[in-house]
Each structure stands twice: as C-alpha cells, then as structure tokens.
C-alpha cells in the first residue's frame, strides 16, 4: 500500500541517517517485548526492492521516543505519542532512507570500504582523546548495544551515499550578492506608515453595464475568455465522516478504553500560591527592575515584614512588581509542575500548605517570596465525566482506521486490475462523477492539487491506483472525459465578462477618488494632519501601522503585494504616494518613520547570509528532488504488521 495512506497531509518529522548512526551507539533497550521470532523477522514496509524490518522499526521507534522524552522532560505519555503519530514519523523516516539508497543506486553512486572505514574512525561516539578507539573497542561497543558490525557499516555506507546524492543534486546551487541584498533588505528594512484605502466595492452598487458593452468587451478580448482544457473524473470517495455511521461503540468499549488509558485522565497535583516579586534588571541598561544587590536587600526587608506578621495579600498589592498578580494580592491561582520558572517550581512544590518561603531567586525575574495557600492532590477524572470525550475520540479514531482499511482494500483491488466500480461495490461505497475542472482548479469534494495534476496525466478510462488524501478522507479517480480547450461562446462566459467590466469601472472610480484625496491632503498640509482631514471630508478612514513593519509583513490592513511593498519602501519619509493598487481598491501611503537599508551592515553580513541562503536553497532543491524520486519507486506497507505495531 502506498504511503499515500499514511496521512500525507501531516508534516513529517524526517529521521535522517546520521541520526540513526549516532543512535546505534547509544544505549539500547529492547522494546515490544514478548514478540515471537516470526514477528521479529516480519517486514513492516517495502520500498522498491528494499525492506524495512520490524526490529529496525523498533529500534528507531525507541530512539524517537527517548528523544521526545528528553524534549518534554519526561512529561509525555502513550496518549500524547499516539496523537503525535510517532509510528508514522518513524516509518516515514525509514522510507526516506531507503529512497536515498535506491536513488543513489539508480545514478550509479558508490561508496567503497575505505570511505566507510574513514567515516567510522571519525565518529564522535567512537573516539577517545581525539582518536579512534580501535577495532576491538569498536566491536565491543557495537556488541554491547546489540549491533552487528555488518549492519552498522551498512548504515554508515548508506549515509555516505546520501551525502553523495545530495552533493550531486545541489552542488550547482548559488546565491548572488544581489539576492543576498534583497534578503537583507527583507530582514532589516522597516517602515511605519499612515494610509487611506479606497475600496472599489463602495462603487459597485451604483454601476451597471448593458448587453452591448458586454458583447463589445467579449469581441475585443475573445482570447482572454478562451475556455481551457478540462477534465471530468469518476471518483470513489472514502469519507471519514460518513464512515462514522458504520462504527459501533458500546459502553463496554468506553469502559475498557478508560481502564486501559487511565493515565490519560489523571489531573496532576497542583499548588495554589501567591507571591511578592522584586525584579532584577535583565541588563544594566534595562529600565525595569533593580540591580541585583538592591533587589535582594528590598526583598529581604519585605520577607522580614511577612515574618513579623504583615498581611501577605495587602503587602503584595502594595509592593509586588508582578503587575499581573499584584492587584490580586499576589495570587497566582493553582498550577501544576512545570508551569512556573524552574527555581519557583522547585521551591513551591517542596513547601507545606500555609508556609512562606525564604527568598527564591529566579534567573528570569528576580526575587520571590512565596506563600503556599493550599495543595490540590492528584486526581483521576471519573468515567462518567469523560465518557463523551472518549466516545468522540474513539469514534474519530475508529472511523479513521476504517477509512485507512477501506482505502488500502480499494488500492489493492485496483492494483489487481479490478475496476473502480467493482472496488467500490466490494467496500460498500459508490462511484460518482465530478464537474469539469481545469488544470490548477479544484472542485468539491476533490480539494487536492495533486489529484487535479494527476487527472491531466491520465488517459481516458485509466484509473489511478494509489489514491489521494483529502480533507474529508481519500479519493480514487479514473478519467471519464477530456474536454479540449476551445474559443468560448458569449453565453458560456457572459457572467464573467460582465463581472470584469463592473470591476474595471469600480477600480477606475476608486483610483479617481484616491487622486482627489491626494490633492486635498496636499492642500491641507501633510504635516498638519492633512491626510486625516481630507479622508474625513470624503468619508474615508485614515489608519496607521501599529509599529514598524518589515518587508513581507502586511502594511496594516492593506495586506501585502509586490507593487505596494516596492512603492512603500522606496518612499522618502513624510512623502505621500500616488495611488497604488491594494487588494480590492487603491491606497495612498505616507511613510512616517523608516529604518533604511544599511550598506555597511550588509557588507558585514553578506558572506554569512549568502552561505545560509545557499544551504536553504540546497535543502529545498533536494527535498523537491526526493519528492520526484518517490514517484519512481513502489512503496508498500505491510498493513497487518503495521496495524499490530500501532495498536500496542
């Protein structure tokens, strides 16, 4: 089954081979214990003529899981891992590795034993005091981690092949100084502007066009209204939402899920606390806070007052420098572990209810005096409280699993030569016919540019066997009809011609009003609020960007656009522009403040900027290349084995 059925609309976490190699010499702990020998030898997926085995998948899964546990500092459970689709991430990474190997082989790339030996000798995990640990220690470390020399060296060879392939594909990438300057400007140039927008929509209700005008416009621009080539497809839709009606969930199912995933419904212990904060300056120049010694002395005085019987809440209201909590008497509400900065977190969860801390210094804020009001113990939400939540989640998951199952079955049937209609009937589904669509145009429910592009590749009667992910599920298509491009008749495009004429007239009026606005603003004096006065006089609204904005960012609600951006950043300060197209109308823009291009700073950054842009382009080029390479090889997943993995 093609990896189209692995939720291709998700953003995959690619696991590249150098990460794999480093993982091979990390500590290894077997997972999926209890699997019999046959299961351990099973194939999870096949890419071209290469396989991905269950033991290999298990090792990679463990490595990824451990990586997430480090990132989340152990605050991750099985439910979170399932939501992240960790199994899919791991399998996609392994598939990508196999594609590297296959593509390198296709291009005749080769890595000899000497190159492998050199790479291994330079592995950081196989060095001591800057030197390779030697053959015996190398063997011992691999054996200690249940790795064979052959398997490890094959992995190194694959990684070197990937490097060769990437170099072959991307070594021609270059970045010119002009491109680097353009990027520098995008990152550093900023403006603050005032503007007035004249929307053409305000004029449309007053406009009309006659039949003669429509006909004349059509005759003048016939080629513009040429009807493009279109396609009609027969399609089979595996709709996740529709499949929910086929899912049965009993109370016993919900209770079983609750018992099996009770950890998911635990609410951790919470501390309910208040504090008084004395801020420490983040930098000597910072306006907020005090020098450390001064802040500490102030905090010590406040702590003495609290210990002497001062009302904590009243004191916090009066002196705490945490504005968010001061007005509430320092109250922070209730919170679990990890919600506060580490120093605060460590202190408060060691306290007893009713206690006041000594001074606690946090690197982020300063000195805290903490009062622990109470502790809410860890609880587990009862089944009755979470039953509908479980029902909703399980209904979605089971419908998605059923969608996957049916999509795989349909694909398998099509690959065996069965028709789209027969495959649909076998799964209790139906075949429908699309409305005609042009290249680059999507129609409901087939919202997939991939699908549209494929439809224009198929021959009449030909069926695509892999399917396409859609917002609603998966679709399989066969080309039902080709509609060639042809000169339009007026009746086919009459509404479009009329709409174009009305839009043109409305835009002309919007531009004329913008020109009138500019004239009035100049007469009123731009430095004396002339734009504001002129706008009010014409029933328009003057606005400002809330702060400095950079290239590529919206200029207020005018949005973005090449013409608008080029004009705005070229304007001298305090100068009002000519009318410029923006969205559905015209705008006048006046730059109030500008952070201009700095040629000296650019020269300092030019070399590193060119290098980073080159790497970024190489990455994008190689990613696009591998997306094409994926189309050259069959990718099949062992549905039975993968289902067993995913259900653990």
Query: CATH number of the domain that 517 lies in?
Result: 3.10.50
Of 146 and 371, the one with more pLDDT = 371
Of 154 and 625, the one with more pLDDT = 625
285 phi and psi angles, rounded to 5 deg: -85, -10
- Domain-ending residue, one of 434, 454, 483: 483
pTM higher than the cut 0.75: no
Contacts of 430 (CB under 8 A, 6+ apart): 236, 424
In a domain, 603, yes or no: no
- Domain-ending residue, one of 377, 398, 426: 377
Is residue 406 helix, strand or coil?
Answer: helix
- Domain-ending residue, one of 467, 483, 499: 483
In this structure, are 401 and 476 located in the same domain? yes
In a domain, 180, yes or no: no
pLDDT band at 192 (very low <50, low <70, confident <90, very high): very high
* The pLDDT of residue 634: 85
In this structure, are 198 and 164 located in the same domain? no
In this structure, are 370 and 504 located in the same domain? no
Residues β-bridged to residue 475: 237, 468
In a domain, 25, yes or no: yes
Average pLDDT over residues 203-217: 94
In this structure, are 299 and 401 located in the same domain? no
Asked if 48 contacts 633 with a C-beta cutoff of 8 angstroms, the reply is yes
In this structure, are 122 and 240 located in the same domain? no
Of 316, 306, 318, the residue nearest 356 (C-alpha) = 306
Can you give the CATH number for the domain in which 319 is found? 3.10.50.40
Can you give the CATH number for the domain in which 106 is found? 1.10.4030
Tally of structural domains, the chain: 4
In a domain, 360, yes or no: yes
In this structure, are 570 and 427 located in the same domain? no
pLDDT band at 44 (very low <50, low <70, confident <90, very high): confident
Question: Could you report the per-residue pLDDT of 461-495, keeping only the tens digit for each?
Answer: 999 998 898 888 899 999 999 999 999 999 989 99
Q: Any idea what DSSP says for residue 225?
A: G
In this structure, are 501 and 453 located in the same domain? no
Helix then strand then coil, % of the chain, to nearest 5: 50, 20, 30
In this structure, are 359 and 303 located in the same domain? yes
In a domain, 607, yes or no: no
Mean pLDDT of the chain: 87
Range of the domain at 278: 269-377
Residue 458, exposed/middle/buried by CB under 10 A (0-12, 13-18, 19+)?
Answer: middle
In this structure, are 440 and 312 located in the same domain? no
Average pLDDT over residues 639-646: 67
Contacts of 487 (CB under 8 A, 6+ apart): 222, 226, 227
Question: Could you report the per-residue pLDDT of 439-448, keeping only the tens digit for each?
Answer: 989 999 999 9
In a domain, 433, yes or no: yes
* The pLDDT of residue 78: 67
In this structure, are 303 and 430 located in the same domain? no
In a domain, 220, yes or no: no
In a domain, 612, yes or no: no
pLDDT band at 519 (very low <50, low <70, confident <90, very high): very high
Residues of the chain with pLDDT > 70, as a percent, come to 91
Of 190, 197, 196, 194, the residue nearest 590 (C-alpha) = 194
In this structure, are 288 and 150 located in the same domain? no
In this structure, are 461 and 317 located in the same domain? no
Going along 54-136, which residue ranges are E strands?
Answer: 127-128, 131-132
Of 465, 490, 368, the residue nearest 408 (C-alpha) = 465
């Amino acid at each position: 089954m093609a990896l189209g059925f692995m939720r291709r609309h998700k953003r995959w976490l690619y696991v590249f081979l150098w990460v794999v190699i480093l993982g091979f010499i990390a500590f290894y702990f077997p997972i999926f214990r209890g699997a019999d020998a046959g299961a351990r030898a099973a194939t999870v997926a096949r890419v071209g003529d290469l396989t991905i085995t269950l033991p290999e998948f298990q090792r990679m899964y463990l490595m990824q899981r451990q990586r997430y546990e480090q990132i989340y500092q152990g605050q991750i459970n099985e439910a979170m891992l399932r939501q992240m689709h960790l199994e899919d991430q791991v399998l996609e990474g392994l598939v990508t590795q196999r594609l590297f190997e296959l593509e390198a082989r296709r291009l005749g790339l080769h890595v000899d034993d000497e190159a492998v030996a050199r790479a291994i000798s330079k592995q950081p995990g196989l060095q001591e005091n800057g030197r390779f640990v030697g053959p015996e220690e190398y063997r011992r470390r691999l054996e200690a981690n249940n790795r064979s020399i052959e398997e490890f060296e094959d992995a190194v060879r694959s990684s070197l092949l990937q490097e060769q392939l990437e170099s072959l594909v991307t070594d021609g990438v270059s970045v010119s100084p002009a491109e680097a300057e353009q990027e520098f400007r995008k990152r550093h140039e900023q403006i603050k502007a005032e503007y007035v927008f004249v929307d053409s929509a305000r004029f449309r209700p007053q406009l009309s066009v006659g039949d003669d005008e429509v006909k004349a416009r059509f005759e003048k621009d016939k080629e513009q209204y040429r009807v493009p080539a279109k396609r009609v497809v027969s399609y089979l839709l595996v709709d996740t939402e529709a499949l929910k009606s086929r899912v049965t969930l009993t109370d016993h199912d919900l209770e079983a899920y609750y018992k099996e995933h009770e950890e998911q419904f635990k609410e951790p212990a919470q501390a309910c606390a208040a504090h008084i904060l004395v801020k420490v300056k983040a930098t000597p120049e910072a306006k907020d806070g005090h020098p450390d010694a001064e802040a500490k002395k102030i905090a010590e005085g406040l702590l003495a007052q609290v210990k002497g019987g001062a009302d904590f809440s009243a004191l916090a209201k009066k002196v705490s420098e945490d504005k968010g909590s001061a007005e509430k008497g320092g109250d922070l509400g209730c919170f679990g572990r990890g919600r506060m900065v580490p120093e605060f977190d460590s202190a408060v969860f060691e306290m007893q209810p009713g206690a006041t801390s000594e001074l606690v210094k946090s690197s982020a804020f300063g000195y805290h005096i903490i009062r622990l009001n109470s502790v809410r113990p860890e609880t587990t939400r009862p089944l009755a409280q979470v039953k509908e939540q479980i029902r909703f989640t399980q209904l979605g998951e089971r419908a998605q699993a059923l969608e996957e199952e049916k999509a795989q079955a349909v694909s398998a049937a099509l690959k065996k030569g069965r028709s789209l209609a027969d495959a649909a009937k076998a799964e209790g589904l139906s075949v429908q016919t699309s409305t005609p669509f042009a290249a680059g145009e999507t129609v409901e429910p087939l919202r997939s540019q991939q699908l549209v592009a494929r439809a224009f590749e198929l021959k009449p009667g030909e069926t695509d066997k892999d399917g396409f992910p859609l917002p609603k599920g998966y679709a399989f298509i066969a080309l039902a009809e080709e509609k060639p491009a042809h000169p339009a008749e007026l009746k086919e495009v009459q509404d479009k011609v009329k709409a174009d004429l009305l839009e043109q007239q409305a835009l002309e009026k919007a531009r004329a009003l913008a020109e009138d606005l500019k004239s009035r603003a100049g007469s009123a004096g731009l430095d004396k609020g002339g734009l504001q006065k002129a706008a009010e006089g014409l029933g328009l609204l003057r606005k400002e960007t809330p702060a400095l904005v950079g290239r590529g960012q919206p200029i207020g609600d005018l949005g973005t656009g090449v013409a608008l951006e080029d004009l705005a950043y070229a304007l001298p300060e305090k100068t009002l522009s000519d009318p410029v197209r923006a969205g559905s109308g015209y705008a006048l823009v006046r730059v109030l403040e500008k952070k201009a291009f700095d040629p000296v700073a650019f020269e300092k950054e030019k070399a590193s900027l060119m290098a980073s842009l080159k790497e970024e382009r190489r990455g994008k080029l190689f990613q696009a290349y591998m997306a094409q390479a994926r189309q050259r090889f069959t990718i099949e997943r062992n549905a039975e084995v993968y289902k067993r993995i995913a259900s653990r």
